[in-house]
Amino acid sequence: MKKTTLTAVLLLSVICAFGQKKAVNRAFSEAKMENPNFQEARTDIQGALTNPETKDDAKTWYVAGFIENSSFEKDNVQKTLGIALPNGDAPMYDALVKSYDYFLQSIALDTLPNEKGKVKPKYVKDIRKILKQNLDGYINAGVYYFNQKDYKKAYDVWGIFLDIPKLSIMKDEKSGLPADSTIAILEFNRALAAMQTQDNALAIKALNAAKGNDYNRNDVYKYLVYEYEQTQDTVNLISTLQEGEKLFKDEMVEVQDRDGNPVLDENGKPKMQKENTYTLKLINLYIYGGRYDEAIATLETILAEDPENAEYWNVKGNLYESQKKYDQSIECFGKALEINPSYTDALGNMGRIYFNLAVQKNNEISAITDNVKYAEAREKEVLPLFEKSRPYYEKAYELKPENPDYKYALRNIYYNLNDAEKLKMIEGQ
């Protein structure tokens, strides 16, 4: 009885295995028909993908990939002809992605050595041809998912495009693979998609992959700086800033205002200047960390190469001011204004230095109890400093009247200098 039962069980297993192999062939035949029923073909192949007798067969996975690829090709032809797909583009591109996953598994099984220790693949040649034909499809799929705001899927699909040339079956292939310039563009786009996912680690990984290319390289470094700032990774931030400073210091870029809009010259064209983003951020990072000697050394190095850069002199002035070295600070702001007399930030900074010195001096003499002596000290030591501050703030306010700091400072200056007319005027604005 036991022997009969065992034989029956074994016979049932053989029948099931044979049935699964028939299902693979049936699915393959259906997908190759002129008007295939892809849903039926998918149903037929699903059991074989998990059945112990067929799941390790390269043909099973090849047929699964072939079905999905055939579905993609059929829809792609319709789309190319301008015929709208009834369910939109999503099913078409989803089939394309699935085909790749199935083909990868087929390649892995098809390249295993046989019982004689030899590798004799049956499906690799066809898979290789299909993958090369579908490269543009993966580009378009990424664009589709990106526009649908499915940024992670766009990232993954463009990753497939980038991975295909690296597959072992593509070794020594000399045609049909993307040019380096196309790869560079896709790596950049993939990094943009990664940034949109709000996954900092993913964005950093993608940006580091893209930064070795020439395509929009300056932008890649700036995005990478931003990501390291967000993650407060100071070590990699400083390293990236130092790299960026060396790579792009001679690159000409548009001058932008604080809102990121281009500043125009007298002819209505964007003003250009040497790239200084990395240098300024690096110096500010040194200052924030109290590394003043490194900040000064960096500034002196770049000023030796670019002594007519008003912004660098302004930053150096700020650096000295933060250390309460006011004479050196005034000298630097003055140098910035010699180069650019309408440099609003330097005007405001110079006005602030004299304003703060006036307030500081006024606090010092407030301990004088004799009213006559206090008035004399104020006249001699405080008011001249407010007077020195006045023209800088007036010009800064004239250039940028929307800045509340300039208006606040002038109100206090006019009050202390007893200039009732100017005080009334600015309070009415």
Do 304 and 353 have their domain in common?
no
CA distances to 219, 243, 285, 336, 387 from 231, rounded to whole Å, are: 19, 19, 15, 34, 46
* 211 belongs to a structural domain: no
Cβ atoms 286, 294 nearer than 8 A: yes
CA distances to 357, 401, 405 from 411, rounded to whole Å, are: 17, 13, 10
> How many angstroms separate the CA atoms of 60 and 39, rounded?
17
Do 172 and 243 have their domain in common?
no
Tell me the per-residue pLDDT of 229-250, one tens digit each, with 9 for 90 and over.
Answer: 999 999 999 999 999 999 998 8
Average pLDDT of the residues in 276-281: 88
Do 361 and 306 have their domain in common?
no
Do 146 and 116 have their domain in common?
yes
pLDDT number for residue 20: 73
Do 372 and 333 have their domain in common?
no
Least confident of 50-64, 88-102, 260-274: 260-274
Do 106 and 144 have their domain in common?
yes
pLDDT number for residue 413: 94
pLDDT number for residue 270: 87
Do 124 and 36 have their domain in common?
yes
Evaluate if residue 10 carries a pLDDT over 70: no
Query: Residue 388 belongs to a domain with what CATH number?
Result: 1.20.58
Tell me the per-residue pLDDT of 69-94, one tens digit each, with 9 for 90 and over.
Answer: 999 999 999 999 999 999 999 999 99
The structure tokens listed for 416 are 């202390």
Average pLDDT of the residues in 415-421: 91
Domain count, the chain: 3
Per-residue pLDDT band at 258 (split at 50, 70, 90): low
Do 409 and 373 have their domain in common?
yes
Percent of the chain with pLDDT over 70: 95
* 239 belongs to a structural domain: yes
* 148 belongs to a structural domain: yes
Query: Which residue, 307, 304, 255, is CA-closest to 276?
Result: 255
pLDDT number for residue 18: 52
Dihedral sign (CA 59, 64, 65, 67): positive
Do 323 and 360 have their domain in common?
no
* 220 belongs to a structural domain: no
Do 356 and 265 have their domain in common?
no
For residue 327, what are the β-bridge partners? none
For residue 274, what are the β-bridge partners? 252
* 407 belongs to a structural domain: yes
Domain span at residue 380? 342-429
User: How far does Cα 109 stand from its chain's mean position?
Assistant: 38
Among 316, 340, 364, the domain boundary falls at 340
Average pLDDT of the residues in 318-324: 90
Tokens 């009334």 correspond to 424
CA distances to 152, 317, 330, 338, 360 from 347, rounded to whole Å, are: 47, 12, 11, 11, 20
* 199 belongs to a structural domain: no
Tell me the per-residue pLDDT of 212-234, one tens digit each, with 9 for 90 and over.
Answer: 999 999 999 999 999 999 999 99
Q: Is the overall model pTM greater than 0.75, yes or no?
A: yes
Tell me the per-residue pLDDT of 326-385, one tens digit each, with 9 for 90 and over.
Answer: 999 999 999 999 999 999 999 999 999 999 999 999 999 988 888 899 999 999 999 999
> At a CB cut-off of 8 Å and minimum separation 6, what does 358 contact?
382, 383, 385, 386, 389, 416
Among 135, 150, 178, the domain boundary falls at 178
